Chains A and B, each alone.
Chain A
Amino acid sequence: MVLLAVRRLGENAYGVPILRELEEHGRRMAVATVYATLDRLEAKGLVTSWFGEPTSERGGKAKRYFRLTARGVREARATQRVLTSLWADFTNLKGETT
């Protein structure tokens, strides 16, 4: 989900918009846990990050921007394929309660 949020935000993918993007799609996360996830993704080479300029509305603190790497995009597509095929079976379960 974090990977997809970064992809959707494009050039504006930093902490606060990522958090909002996740919330809009029904997933509440703490800022620190989002960064923990992003650090893991960066260690795996799926995203890359850089620091922006400090801004006054953030009390003079810099933003850390994220972007998907080519490997990250490939990984997201692979996950999408797997999930799509798994969900395809799920339509056959219509009407089942358990």
Chain B
Amino acid sequence: MNERKPPGIASWLLKRFGPSEQNQVLVGDLAEHYRSGRSRWWYWREVMIALSVGTLRETWQNRMMILLGLAVGWLMVKNLDPVIIRLFVPSPSVVRLIVAKVVIGFLFGFVLALLHRPRHIAPVMLLGASYIASTDLYRLYSPGVYIADAARVAAGSRPPMHLYTWLLWTSVDLLFVAAMIWAGTLTVRKPGERSEPLHR
């Protein structure tokens, strides 16, 4: 038997973010096909297609559930996040704030994913993407100030202070979303644990 191992990162991505319904079957099929002589490029391409097709299908098939998930996620982010921050970070400290944001992101991601098992990845990913788009991208494009600043920096001027601030908050938000998605993937069902009965 050929013991050639499939690319580790691609396999990890598929196991964590692949379509929940038949992820184990897909991982097995790709491993078997890869061992029969397929290239690493082929494996990566298959994983990327599986992730895209899986997320799109799950989103479409469960659109009401995912909309509800997004609404719940946004309620948590917008209402609970500031309260928890005020509670645990009474004095202004960037390090404390970053730790608090990561912990909150982790908790929100875990709760949201747990409520939507086995189709937990799509709502968590969509919440993360919409959060970044609505806070950081909006902050960047809305006044147009930062774009003008970036142009000035590119021309050789010193970067203004608020550009550093934006970079800091964007990094904190990215950490927040990364913690959220990571926590969401921890609720993946174990092999053999299924919500629907098998039919033969």
Question: Which A residues contact B (CB, under 8 angstroms)?
Answer: 14-16, 19, 30-33, 35-36, 48-51, 54-64
Q: Which of A30, A56, A60, A62 sits near B25, CB closer than 8 Å?
A: A62
Contacting residues, chain A, for B45 (C-beta < 8 A): 30
Q: Is the CB of B28 within 8 A of A62?
A: yes
Q: Is the CB of A30 within 8 A of B50?
A: yes
Counting CB contacts under 8 A, is B109 at the interface? no
Q: Is the CB of A54 within 8 A of B50?
A: no
Q: Is the CB of A61 within 8 A of B25?
A: yes
Not counting A57-B32, A63-B29, a sample of 20 additional A-B residue pairs whose C-beta atoms are within 8 angstroms of each other reads A15-B28, A15-B29, A16-B36, A30-B46, A30-B50, A30-B53, A31-B26, A31-B49, A32-B49, A32-B50, A32-B53, A33-B49, A35-B22, A48-B200, A54-B191, A57-B35, A61-B191, A62-B24, A62-B28, A63-B25
A13 to B19, CA, bound (A): 21
Counting CB contacts under 8 A, is B9 at the interface? no
Known: A15-B29, A31-B30, A61-B191. A50 touches B54 (CB 8 A): no
User: Smallest distance from the beta carbon of A40 to chain B beta carbons, Å?
Assistant: 10
Counting CB contacts under 8 A, is B158 at the interface? no
Q: Is the CB of B25 within 8 A of A15?
A: yes
A18 to B29, CA, bound (A): 11
Q: Is the CB of B31 within 8 A of A59?
A: yes
